Amino acid sequence: MNIFRLAGDMTHLVSVLVLLLKIHTIKSCAGISLKTQELYALVFTTRYLDLFTDYISLYNTVMKLIFLGSSFSIVWYIRRHKIVRRSYDKDQDTFRHYFIVLPCLVLALLIHHKFTFKEVMWTFSLYLEAVAILPQLVLLQRTRNIDNLTGQYVFLLGAYRALYILNWIYRHYTEPHYVHWITWIAGIVQTLLYADFFYYYFQSWKNNVKLQLPA
Amino acid sequence: KGQPQSHDEL
């Protein structure tokens, strides 16, 4: 464990808890893409298949349970909660899951480190996580209004992966055998996807104006 | 080492 990875995990944890708290407190999911939340639940499910088979550390197991629990809770709130579901904008949140899931699945079947079920699922979860934010970014551009909690959520989500890249650089230099190019590429693609959002987020923060994404 | 690379990460 290094400071970059810990900071990344904490940033990731805060981002999902901020979102869960927002939905639970104001009983609204306005501006939140259910599609993205469902994709994240799928990311955690396919990535943490080793939850009960390989024990790495208490921290690792606890964090996996928190991420799984929070992502499924968020999906449950938006789908099932009698008040929250009313604020879900299903006409705007129309990104097709399979446009994202299928290419990631095909890519994982083609490009992986080992052709085993767990390894292909793990690789699939890396590719999926890189693009899972797309429905949320599309929704933000369509609705054009970004309440600052949603803006913070997306920002923290991007920041966590950027911190992970620093973690991979650190591990690359401190653990000689540690080279995992698939992780690198998926992580860099993911962070680049956030780059333009970061740009507009900082612009709005610097000029102290409401965050607006160009149409 | 037990864990293959980056499988010990979240």
Q: A86 in contact with B at a CB cutoff of 8 Å?
A: no
Buried b (16+ CB within 10 A) or exposed e, A130-164: bbbbbbbbbbbebbeebbebbbbbbbbbbbbbbbb
ipTM computed for the complex:
0.83
Around Cβ A3, how many Cβ atoms within 10 Å? 11
HSE of A171 in the Cβ direction (CA atoms, 13 Å)?
24
Q: A60 in contact with B at a CB cutoff of 8 Å?
A: yes
Do A182 and A119 form a contact (C-beta atoms < 8 A)?
no
The confidence band for B5, taking pLDDT boundaries of 50, 70 and 90, is low
The confidence band for B2, taking pLDDT boundaries of 50, 70 and 90, is very low
Which residues in chain A are closer than 8 Å to B7, comparing Cβ atoms? 50, 54, 122
DSSP string, A151-214: HHHHHHHHHHHHHHHHHHHHHHHHSTT---HHHHHHHHHHHHHHHHHHHHHHHHHHTT------
Chain A nearest-CA distance from B4, in A, is 9
Q: Which amino acid is located at A103 in the chain?
A: P
Nearest to B5 among A9, A167, A180 (CB): A180
Please give the C-alpha separations between residue A151 and each of A57, A58, A204, in angstroms, as whole numbers. Answer: 33, 32, 10
Do A37 and A75 form a contact (C-beta atoms < 8 A)?
yes
Chain A nearest-CA distance from B5, in A, is 6
Do B6 and A180 form a contact (C-beta atoms < 8 A)?
yes
At residue A32, the 3 state secondary structure works out as coil
- Give me the numbers of helices (H) and strands (E) for chain A, helices first please: 8, 0
More confidently predicted of A205 and A55? A55
CA separation for the pair A132, A41 (Å, rounded): 10
For B9, nearest residue in chain A (alpha carbons) = A60
Mean pLDDT in residue range A54-65: 95
| A28-53 per-position pLDDT tens digit | 999 999 999 999 999 999 999 999 99
By residue count, chain B amounts to 10
Judged by CB atoms closer than 8 Å, whether chains meet at B5 and A164 is answered as: no
pLDDT score, position A159: 95
For A13, nearest residue in chain B (alpha carbons) = B10
Percent over 70 (pLDDT), chain A: 98
Chain B nearest-CA distance from A27, in A, is 29
Judged by CB atoms closer than 8 Å, whether chains meet at B3 and A64 is answered as: no
Judged by CB atoms closer than 8 Å, whether chains meet at A183 and B3 is answered as: no
| A96-134 per-position pLDDT tens digit | 999 999 999 999 999 999 999 999 999 999 999 999 999
Which residues in chain B are closer than 8 Å to A11, comparing Cβ atoms? none
For A82, which DSSP code?
Answer: T
DSSP string, A7-31: HHHHHHHHHHHHHHHHHHHH---TT
Distance spanning both ends of chain A, measured CA to CA: 41
Mean pLDDT in residue range A47-67: 95
Residue of A113, A116, A188 to mutate for B, most B C-beta atoms under 10 A: A113
Closest CA to A187 of A142, A145, A146, A129: A129
Residue of B3, B6, B8 to mutate for A, most A C-beta atoms under 10 A: B6
